[in-house]
Each structure stands twice: as structure tokens, then as C-alpha cells.
């Protein structure tokens, strides 16, 4: 006589989530153009043709969560810190601060802000479409170039403050 085991009954709440409602998907569920690391097997946010759904991905964990939030938090806080610092150095207690000092600090803060904003958008929008991913990837790289140059300009100004000829030579090189 063949003995059968107990009949498996699925819990009513344990229904499978429809493919289009899943928060994250696996490497095999994403388009080929998004597969840039074969060792990351899961946690991708799904391909989204709707920007609202892309924005909603801020509410759950996925592969880009740390990238998005570290840049987003920096992009939100930097203008607050920059404003406080610029207002402080422009105050009467710093009598030797020149307009050029103010400009140099502003160059640095603006370049850092552009890098943070471009990177936030790139890591957030990357799942929207191949065209959007390619555009914002270029903008992310541009932001890196901008912050690099935006760091060198004030750095050279302050390092060679007493050597105007060397200052101009280094600015020309950069």
C-alpha cells in the first residue's frame, strides 16, 4: 500500500507576488544593458518606464539604495552647510576675507553640489530606460570632472596665494 503524505495547503496570504509588482528583481530579469556585474545576482529595481515608479524606489531597499541616499543626503545638506560657512566667512570678524575668497569657496561648493545631484539622479533613474541611463551616466561622469576641477581651482588659489606666477601656471595646467 502506498502512503501519501499530508496534502500541502498554501497559506492564504502566501500568494506569489505578480512579476510586475515585485520591488526587486534578479539579474536575469533585467535588460542586458543593465547587467554590468555578473556577481550581483539580485536586488535590482525593476525596469520602470514610469518616472513616478522610479521615484517610489526611494522607499525600499535595492542595489542602488546606498548610492542614491549617500549622494541625496549630501546634496540636501551641502547647500545648508555652504550657506552657513559663506555667511560666516563674510562676517565682520574676518576682515581679511576678500571677494575672491568668497568666490573660491562658492566654486568648490557649487562643483560639489553638481556632482552630488548628477550622481543621485544617475543612480535613481538608471532603471528607467537605456537612453535615460546613458544620459545620466554621462552627467554623473561630468559631475566627477566638475568636482575635480572645482576642487583644484580653490586649492591652487590658496596653496599659491603668495606666488601669483606659480598660481597662474598651475591654473593653466588644470
The x, y and z cell numbers of residue 87, run together, are: 555667511
Q: Which residues are annotated as a binding site for Zn(2+)?
A: 123
Share of the chain residues as helix, strand and coil, in percent rounded to the nearest 5: 65, 5, 35
Concatenated DSSP letters of 17-48: PPGGG-S-EEGGGS-GGG---TT--EEEPPP-
Angle formed by the axes of helices 164-173 and 130-159, nearest 10°: 160
| Residue 2 pLDDT greater than 50, yes or no | no
Question: What are 97's three cell numbers?
Answer: 576675507
pTM of the model: 0.78
H or E segment and range at residue 52? helix 51-56
Of all residues in the chain, what percent carry a pLDDT higher than 90?
Answer: 40
Residues 136 and 126 sit within 8 Å (Cβ to Cβ):
yes
Bridge partners, 44 (sequence order): 25
For 9-32, the pLDDT digits (tens) are: 443 433 444 444 558 788 778 777
| Residues of each annotated binding site | 123
CB atoms within 10 A of CB 75: 19
- The dihedral through the CA atoms of 18, 21, 27, 30 has a sign that is positive
What is residue 21's predicted lDDT score, i.e. its pLDDT? Answer: 52
Percent of the chain with pLDDT over 70: 87
Amino acid at each position: 500500500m502506498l502512503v501519501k503524505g499530508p496534502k500541502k495547503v498554501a497559506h492564504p496570504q502566501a500568494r506569489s507576488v505578480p512579476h510586475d509588482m515585485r520591488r526587486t528583481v534578479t539579474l536575469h530579469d533585467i535588460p542586458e544593458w543593465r547587467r554590468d556585474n555578473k556577481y550581483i545576482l539580485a536586488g535590482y529595481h525593476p525596469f520602470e518606464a514610469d518616472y513616478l515608479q522610479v521615484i517610489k524606489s526611494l522607499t525600499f531597499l535595492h542595489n542602488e539604495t546606498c548610492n542614491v541616499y549617500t549622494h541625496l543626503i549630501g546634496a540636501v545638506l551641502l547647500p545648508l552647510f555652504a550657506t552657513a560657512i559663506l555667511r560666516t566667512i563674510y562676517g565682520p570678524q574676518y576682515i581679511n576675507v576678500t571677494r575672491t575668497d568668497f568666490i573660491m569657496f562658492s566654486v568648490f561648493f557649487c562643483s560639489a553640489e553638481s556632482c552630488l545631484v548628477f550622481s543621485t539622479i544617475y543612480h535613481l533613474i538608471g532603471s528607467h530606460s537605456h537612453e535615460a541611463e546613458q544620459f545620466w551616466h554621462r552627467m554623473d561622469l561630468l559631475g566627477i570632472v566638475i568636482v575635480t576641477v572645482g576642487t583644484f581651482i580653490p586649492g591652487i588659489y590658496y596653496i599659491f596665494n603668495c606666488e601669483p606666477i606659480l598660481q597662474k601656471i598651475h591654473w593653466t595646467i588644470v
